Chain A
Amino acid sequence: MNVPKFVVPVLVIATLFGGYFLRTAFTQPTTNVTVGTGAGEKLECVVDGVKCKGTAEFFTALYRDIEGINSIETYAADHRVVFTYDPAIITPEKIRNIMEAPIPLEDGSSVQAFKCMSMK
Protein backbone atom coordinates (compact mmCIF):
# COMPACT_ATOMS: atom_id res chain seq x y z
CA MET A 1 0.00 0.00 0.00
CA ASN A 2 1.43 3.39 -1.02
CA VAL A 3 1.84 5.89 1.78
CA PRO A 4 2.64 9.60 1.41
CA LYS A 5 6.19 10.67 2.25
CA PHE A 6 5.06 12.88 5.10
CA VAL A 7 3.96 9.79 7.04
CA VAL A 8 7.57 9.21 8.13
CA PRO A 9 8.14 12.61 9.83
CA VAL A 10 4.63 12.44 11.30
CA LEU A 11 5.46 9.06 12.84
CA VAL A 12 8.77 10.41 14.17
CA ILE A 13 7.11 13.45 15.77
CA ALA A 14 4.39 11.21 17.24
CA THR A 15 7.14 8.99 18.67
CA LEU A 16 8.91 11.92 20.33
CA PHE A 17 5.68 13.13 21.93
CA GLY A 18 4.65 9.58 22.79
CA GLY A 19 7.99 8.95 24.49
CA TYR A 20 7.70 12.20 26.41
CA PHE A 21 4.22 11.48 27.74
CA LEU A 22 4.93 7.80 28.41
CA ARG A 23 7.66 8.75 30.90
CA THR A 24 5.16 9.22 33.72
CA ALA A 25 4.57 5.45 33.63
CA PHE A 26 8.13 4.84 34.88
CA THR A 27 8.75 7.62 37.41
CA GLN A 28 10.79 6.28 40.31
CA PRO A 29 13.11 8.06 42.74
CA THR A 30 16.89 7.69 42.46
CA THR A 31 17.15 7.65 46.25
CA ASN A 32 14.41 7.67 48.85
CA VAL A 33 15.14 8.39 52.51
CA THR A 34 12.40 8.44 55.14
CA VAL A 35 12.88 9.64 58.71
CA GLY A 36 10.20 8.81 61.30
CA THR A 37 6.75 8.51 59.78
CA GLY A 38 7.64 10.55 56.71
CA ALA A 39 4.42 12.50 57.09
CA GLY A 40 4.01 16.25 56.54
CA GLU A 41 3.84 18.97 53.90
CA LYS A 42 5.43 18.38 50.47
CA LEU A 43 8.04 20.68 48.94
CA GLU A 44 9.31 19.99 45.43
CA CYS A 45 12.52 21.65 44.22
CA VAL A 46 14.63 21.50 41.07
CA VAL A 47 18.19 21.39 42.39
CA ASP A 48 21.26 22.05 40.28
CA GLY A 49 23.91 19.64 41.54
CA VAL A 50 21.67 16.58 41.87
CA LYS A 51 22.80 15.00 38.62
CA CYS A 52 23.58 11.34 39.25
CA LYS A 53 23.07 8.59 41.78
CA GLY A 54 26.23 9.61 43.67
CA THR A 55 25.21 13.24 44.09
CA ALA A 56 21.64 12.18 44.92
CA GLU A 57 22.93 9.94 47.72
CA PHE A 58 25.28 12.71 48.91
CA PHE A 59 22.33 15.13 48.95
CA THR A 60 20.11 12.86 51.01
CA ALA A 61 22.97 12.01 53.40
CA LEU A 62 23.60 15.73 54.02
CA TYR A 63 20.01 16.70 54.77
CA ARG A 64 18.27 13.61 56.14
CA ASP A 65 19.04 14.55 59.75
CA ILE A 66 17.85 18.15 59.56
CA GLU A 67 15.15 18.60 62.18
CA GLY A 68 11.73 18.97 60.58
CA ILE A 69 12.60 17.09 57.37
CA ASN A 70 10.77 13.77 57.42
CA SER A 71 11.65 12.34 54.02
CA ILE A 72 13.68 13.15 50.92
CA GLU A 73 13.13 11.67 47.46
CA THR A 74 15.59 12.55 44.72
CA TYR A 75 15.05 12.15 40.98
CA ALA A 76 18.50 12.60 39.46
CA ALA A 77 17.38 12.47 35.83
CA ASP A 78 15.31 15.63 36.13
CA HIS A 79 17.27 17.10 39.08
CA ARG A 80 14.14 17.03 41.22
CA VAL A 81 13.98 16.68 45.00
CA VAL A 82 10.79 16.15 47.00
CA PHE A 83 10.94 16.93 50.74
CA THR A 84 8.30 16.03 53.25
CA TYR A 85 8.62 18.42 56.18
CA ASP A 86 6.92 19.48 59.37
CA PRO A 87 5.79 23.12 58.87
CA ALA A 88 5.72 23.64 62.64
CA ILE A 89 9.49 23.14 62.76
CA ILE A 90 10.89 24.24 59.39
CA THR A 91 9.81 26.43 56.46
CA PRO A 92 10.46 26.06 52.72
CA GLU A 93 12.71 29.15 52.80
CA LYS A 94 14.78 27.67 55.62
CA ILE A 95 15.12 24.41 53.68
CA ARG A 96 16.30 26.40 50.68
CA ASN A 97 18.88 28.26 52.78
CA ILE A 98 20.19 25.00 54.25
CA MET A 99 20.40 23.43 50.77
CA GLU A 100 22.33 26.35 49.32
CA ALA A 101 24.67 26.84 52.28
CA PRO A 102 28.36 26.33 51.42
CA ILE A 103 29.73 22.93 52.42
CA PRO A 104 33.08 23.10 54.27
CA LEU A 105 35.94 21.13 52.72
CA GLU A 106 38.93 19.47 54.45
CA ASP A 107 41.36 22.18 53.27
CA GLY A 108 39.38 24.87 55.09
CA SER A 109 37.65 26.24 51.99
CA SER A 110 33.98 25.74 51.19
CA VAL A 111 31.88 25.06 48.14
CA GLN A 112 28.23 25.56 47.23
CA ALA A 113 27.33 22.10 45.94
CA PHE A 114 23.60 22.62 45.40
CA LYS A 115 21.49 25.47 44.08
CA CYS A 116 17.71 25.54 44.16
CA MET A 117 16.44 26.50 40.70
CA SER A 118 12.72 26.39 41.53
CA MET A 119 10.37 25.47 44.38
CA LYS A 120 6.72 24.57 44.54
Chain B
Amino acid sequence: MRTRYVRYGLLTGVLGLVLYLAFGSGVRSFEAYCPFGGMEALWGLHTSGEFTCALGPLNLSMLLAVVALALVAKKSFCGWACPIGFLGELCGHAGGMVTKKRARPGARLDGVLRMLRYVVLVVSLVFTYKAGELILRGYDPFYLIFSGIGHGTAGIVSYVVLLLLGIGALLVPMFFCRYLCPLGAVLDPFSRVGIVKVFRDEGKCTKCGSCQTACPHDIPVHTLTQVRRRDCTNCLECLDACPEKMVLSVKASL
Protein backbone atom coordinates (compact mmCIF):
# COMPACT_ATOMS: atom_id res chain seq x y z
CA MET B 1 0.00 0.00 0.00
CA ARG B 2 1.27 3.46 -0.81
CA THR B 3 2.54 5.21 2.29
CA ARG B 4 0.65 8.34 1.30
CA TYR B 5 -2.72 6.61 1.79
CA VAL B 6 -1.78 5.66 5.34
CA ARG B 7 -0.36 9.11 6.04
CA TYR B 8 -3.33 10.97 4.62
CA GLY B 9 -5.63 8.63 6.53
CA LEU B 10 -3.90 9.50 9.80
CA LEU B 11 -3.80 13.21 8.95
CA THR B 12 -7.50 13.18 8.05
CA GLY B 13 -8.23 11.57 11.41
CA VAL B 14 -6.20 14.23 13.21
CA LEU B 15 -7.88 17.02 11.22
CA GLY B 16 -11.29 15.53 12.06
CA LEU B 17 -10.36 15.34 15.76
CA VAL B 18 -9.22 18.98 15.86
CA LEU B 19 -12.34 20.09 13.95
CA TYR B 20 -14.46 18.17 16.45
CA LEU B 21 -12.62 19.81 19.37
CA ALA B 22 -13.09 23.18 17.70
CA PHE B 23 -16.68 23.03 16.57
CA GLY B 24 -18.36 19.85 17.73
CA SER B 25 -17.51 19.32 21.37
CA GLY B 26 -19.51 22.15 22.95
CA VAL B 27 -16.46 23.77 24.50
CA ARG B 28 -13.58 24.79 22.26
CA SER B 29 -10.52 22.89 23.43
CA PHE B 30 -8.65 22.47 20.14
CA GLU B 31 -5.73 24.64 21.32
CA ALA B 32 -4.71 21.87 23.71
CA TYR B 33 -3.52 19.81 20.72
CA CYS B 34 -0.75 22.24 19.72
CA PRO B 35 2.68 21.22 21.10
CA PHE B 36 3.98 24.76 20.61
CA GLY B 37 1.52 25.85 23.29
CA GLY B 38 3.75 23.85 25.65
CA MET B 39 6.66 26.16 24.86
CA GLU B 40 4.47 29.20 25.48
CA ALA B 41 3.25 27.74 28.78
CA LEU B 42 6.73 27.15 30.21
CA TRP B 43 7.36 30.72 31.34
CA GLY B 44 3.99 31.08 33.08
CA LEU B 45 4.58 27.80 34.88
CA HIS B 46 8.08 28.87 35.87
CA THR B 47 7.10 32.30 37.19
CA SER B 48 3.64 31.80 38.71
CA GLY B 49 3.05 28.07 38.72
CA GLU B 50 0.00 28.65 36.51
CA PHE B 51 -0.77 27.98 32.89
CA THR B 52 -0.96 30.98 30.58
CA CYS B 53 -4.30 31.89 29.06
CA ALA B 54 -5.92 28.94 27.27
CA LEU B 55 -2.93 26.63 27.63
CA GLY B 56 -2.89 23.54 29.75
CA PRO B 57 -1.22 20.26 30.69
CA LEU B 58 -1.95 18.66 27.33
CA ASN B 59 0.08 21.32 25.50
CA LEU B 60 3.06 20.56 27.70
CA SER B 61 2.76 16.79 27.51
CA MET B 62 2.31 17.00 23.73
CA LEU B 63 5.47 19.10 23.49
CA LEU B 64 7.49 16.56 25.49
CA ALA B 65 6.08 13.67 23.47
CA VAL B 66 6.79 15.39 20.14
CA VAL B 67 10.36 16.29 21.17
CA ALA B 68 10.90 12.66 22.19
CA LEU B 69 9.50 11.59 18.82
CA ALA B 70 11.87 13.98 17.02
CA LEU B 71 14.83 12.37 18.79
CA VAL B 72 13.69 8.98 17.51
CA ALA B 73 12.03 9.73 14.17
CA LYS B 74 12.80 13.35 13.26
CA LYS B 75 9.86 15.64 12.52
CA SER B 76 7.40 12.81 11.97
CA PHE B 77 4.79 14.75 13.94
CA CYS B 78 4.86 17.47 11.25
CA GLY B 79 4.45 15.04 8.38
CA TRP B 80 2.01 12.63 9.98
CA ALA B 81 -0.02 14.45 12.62
CA CYS B 82 -0.01 18.22 12.10
CA PRO B 83 -3.32 19.53 10.71
CA ILE B 84 -1.74 22.80 9.53
CA GLY B 85 1.02 20.93 7.67
CA PHE B 86 -1.69 18.73 6.11
CA LEU B 87 -3.73 21.74 4.94
CA GLY B 88 -0.52 23.36 3.63
CA GLU B 89 0.34 20.19 1.72
CA LEU B 90 -3.15 19.98 0.20
CA CYS B 91 -2.95 23.66 -0.80
CA GLY B 92 0.45 22.94 -2.38
CA HIS B 93 -1.07 20.11 -4.44
CA ALA B 94 -3.97 22.35 -5.49
CA GLY B 95 -1.58 25.14 -6.43
CA GLY B 96 0.59 22.67 -8.36
CA MET B 97 -2.41 21.49 -10.38
CA VAL B 98 -3.13 25.06 -11.44
CA THR B 99 0.40 26.31 -12.08
CA LYS B 100 1.74 22.88 -13.25
CA LYS B 101 5.09 23.79 -11.71
CA ARG B 102 6.08 24.32 -8.11
CA ALA B 103 7.57 27.67 -7.23
CA ARG B 104 11.09 27.27 -5.88
CA PRO B 105 12.68 30.37 -4.42
CA GLY B 106 16.40 30.60 -5.20
CA ALA B 107 18.65 28.75 -2.77
CA ARG B 108 19.94 31.94 -1.19
CA LEU B 109 16.50 33.52 -0.75
CA ASP B 110 15.15 30.20 0.48
CA GLY B 111 17.93 29.97 3.07
CA VAL B 112 17.20 33.50 4.33
CA LEU B 113 13.45 32.91 4.43
CA ARG B 114 13.95 29.69 6.38
CA MET B 115 15.55 31.73 9.16
CA LEU B 116 12.23 33.55 9.60
CA ARG B 117 10.82 30.71 11.67
CA TYR B 118 13.49 31.32 14.32
CA VAL B 119 12.47 34.98 14.37
CA VAL B 120 8.81 33.92 14.72
CA LEU B 121 9.83 31.56 17.54
CA VAL B 122 11.67 34.27 19.50
CA VAL B 123 8.99 36.92 18.91
CA SER B 124 6.18 34.50 19.90
CA LEU B 125 7.90 33.50 23.12
CA VAL B 126 8.99 37.01 24.13
CA PHE B 127 5.54 38.52 23.51
CA THR B 128 3.76 35.67 25.26
CA TYR B 129 6.11 35.70 28.23
CA LYS B 130 5.90 39.50 28.61
CA ALA B 131 2.12 39.73 28.22
CA GLY B 132 1.18 36.49 29.99
CA GLU B 133 -1.38 36.06 27.21
CA LEU B 134 -1.36 34.49 23.76
CA ILE B 135 -1.47 37.92 22.16
CA LEU B 136 -0.15 36.66 18.79
CA ARG B 137 -2.95 34.11 18.31
CA GLY B 138 -4.59 36.56 15.89
CA TYR B 139 -1.77 35.78 13.44
CA ASP B 140 -1.54 32.03 14.07
CA PRO B 141 -3.14 30.00 11.25
CA PHE B 142 -3.94 27.11 13.63
CA TYR B 143 -5.95 29.41 15.89
CA LEU B 144 -7.46 31.44 13.07
CA ILE B 145 -8.74 28.42 11.14
CA PHE B 146 -9.99 26.31 14.02
CA SER B 147 -11.50 29.19 15.99
CA GLY B 148 -13.29 30.40 12.87
CA ILE B 149 -11.37 33.68 13.33
CA GLY B 150 -13.00 33.93 16.74
CA HIS B 151 -12.25 35.41 20.16
CA GLY B 152 -8.92 37.18 20.54
CA THR B 153 -8.11 37.61 16.85
CA ALA B 154 -7.03 40.86 15.20
CA GLY B 155 -10.08 41.62 13.05
CA ILE B 156 -9.33 42.51 9.43
CA VAL B 157 -5.60 41.95 9.99
CA SER B 158 -6.29 38.31 10.84
CA TYR B 159 -8.24 37.86 7.61
CA VAL B 160 -5.37 39.42 5.65
CA VAL B 161 -2.81 37.18 7.39
CA LEU B 162 -4.87 34.08 6.61
CA LEU B 163 -5.32 35.18 2.99
CA LEU B 164 -1.57 35.77 2.56
CA LEU B 165 -0.74 32.40 4.15
CA GLY B 166 -3.27 30.75 1.83
CA ILE B 167 -1.74 32.38 -1.24
CA GLY B 168 1.74 31.45 -0.01
CA ALA B 169 0.63 27.81 0.49
CA LEU B 170 -0.75 27.67 -3.05
CA LEU B 171 2.45 29.05 -4.58
CA VAL B 172 5.23 27.56 -2.45
CA PRO B 173 4.91 24.00 -1.12
CA MET B 174 4.73 23.87 2.69
CA PHE B 175 5.01 27.66 2.84
CA PHE B 176 4.11 28.06 6.53
CA CYS B 177 6.06 25.01 7.74
CA ARG B 178 9.08 25.98 5.67
CA TYR B 179 9.36 29.63 6.63
CA LEU B 180 7.17 30.51 9.60
CA CYS B 181 6.31 27.59 11.88
CA PRO B 182 7.85 28.16 15.34
CA LEU B 183 7.31 24.52 16.34
CA GLY B 184 9.47 23.53 13.37
CA ALA B 185 12.19 25.80 14.74
CA VAL B 186 11.91 24.18 18.19
CA LEU B 187 12.20 20.69 16.67
CA ASP B 188 15.11 21.50 14.32
CA PRO B 189 17.98 20.56 16.67
CA PHE B 190 16.23 17.39 17.86
CA SER B 191 15.30 16.41 14.31
CA ARG B 192 18.93 16.55 13.15
CA VAL B 193 19.84 13.68 15.46
CA GLY B 194 16.71 11.63 14.79
CA ILE B 195 17.55 7.92 14.63
CA VAL B 196 14.92 6.65 12.16
CA LYS B 197 15.57 8.20 8.75
CA VAL B 198 15.70 7.54 5.02
CA PHE B 199 18.88 6.04 3.54
CA ARG B 200 19.88 5.86 -0.14
CA ASP B 201 21.92 3.14 -1.82
CA GLU B 202 24.28 5.18 -4.01
CA GLY B 203 25.23 2.18 -6.16
CA LYS B 204 21.66 1.49 -7.29
CA CYS B 205 20.39 5.09 -7.55
CA THR B 206 19.92 6.49 -11.06
CA LYS B 207 19.70 10.06 -9.71
CA CYS B 208 16.45 10.65 -11.61
CA GLY B 209 15.32 13.18 -8.99
CA SER B 210 11.81 11.69 -8.55
CA CYS B 211 12.43 11.71 -4.80
CA GLN B 212 13.05 15.46 -4.73
CA THR B 213 10.00 16.15 -6.90
CA ALA B 214 7.82 14.11 -4.53
CA CYS B 215 9.31 15.59 -1.33
CA PRO B 216 6.96 18.21 0.15
CA HIS B 217 10.04 20.05 1.40
CA ASP B 218 11.97 19.74 -1.85
CA ILE B 219 14.87 17.84 -0.25
CA PRO B 220 17.33 16.51 -2.89
CA VAL B 221 17.29 12.96 -1.52
CA HIS B 222 19.12 11.68 -4.64
CA THR B 223 22.22 13.62 -3.58
CA LEU B 224 22.33 12.34 0.01
CA THR B 225 23.35 9.00 1.44
CA GLN B 226 21.16 9.55 4.49
CA VAL B 227 18.53 12.25 5.00
CA ARG B 228 19.66 14.25 8.00
CA ARG B 229 18.09 17.49 6.78
CA ARG B 230 16.23 19.36 9.51
CA ASP B 231 13.15 19.75 7.30
CA CYS B 232 12.66 16.02 6.69
CA THR B 233 9.35 14.94 8.22
CA ASN B 234 9.81 11.22 7.46
CA CYS B 235 6.69 11.41 5.29
CA LEU B 236 8.29 8.71 3.09
CA GLU B 237 6.93 10.23 -0.13
CA CYS B 238 10.43 9.75 -1.59
CA LEU B 239 10.20 5.98 -1.05
CA ASP B 240 6.85 5.89 -2.85
CA ALA B 241 8.17 8.00 -5.73
CA CYS B 242 11.44 6.12 -6.34
CA PRO B 243 11.09 4.03 -9.54
CA GLU B 244 13.93 1.68 -8.55
CA LYS B 245 13.65 -1.12 -6.02
CA MET B 246 15.65 -1.09 -2.78
CA VAL B 247 17.36 2.25 -3.48
CA LEU B 248 15.67 4.10 -0.65
CA SER B 249 14.97 2.48 2.68
CA VAL B 250 14.13 3.40 6.24
CA LYS B 251 16.84 2.58 8.74
CA ALA B 252 17.53 3.17 12.40
CA SER B 253 21.01 4.57 12.79
CA LEU B 254 22.76 7.16 14.94
Contact = CB atoms under 8 A, between A and B. Distances in A.
Interface of A: 1-9, 11-13, 15-16, 18-31, 46-48, 51-54, 75-79, 117
A31 B50 contact: yes
B106 interface: no
Contact of A11 (B58, B132, B196): B196
Contact of B65 (A19, A30, A48): A19
Contact of A53 (B26, B133, B196, B236): B133
B35 to A, nearest CB: 8
A77 B21 CA distance: 12
Contact of A30 (B29, B51, B58, B81): B51
B112 interface: no
Contacts, number: 141
A8 B27 contact: no
Contacts of B80: 8-9, 12
A79 B57 CA distance: 12
Among B45, B55, B58, B72: residue with most chain A CB under 10 A: B58
Given A7-B250, A8-B250, A77-B29, A20 B58 contact: yes
Among A4, A6, A8: residue with most chain B CB under 10 A: A8
Among A3, A15, A21, A117: residue with most chain B CB under 10 A: A15
Among A16, A48, A75: residue with most chain B CB under 10 A: A16
B60 interface: yes
B252 interface: yes
Contacts of B10: 9, 12-13
B183 to A, nearest CB: 13
Interface in B69-92: 69, 72-73, 76-77, 80-81
Contact of B69 (A12, A47, A51): A12
Contacts of B73: 7-8, 11-12
B151 A11 contact: no
B234 interface: yes
Interface in B154-194: none
Interface in B18-72: 26-29, 31-32, 35, 45, 49-62, 64-66, 68-69, 72
Contact of A76 (B35, B56, B152, B253): B56
Contacts of B69: 11-12, 15
13 contacts: A7-B73, A12-B69, A15-B68, A20-B61, A24-B57, A30-B51, A52-B133, A52-B134, A53-B132, A77-B29, A77-B56, A77-B58, A117-B27
Among B28, B32, B62: residue with most chain A CB under 10 A: B62
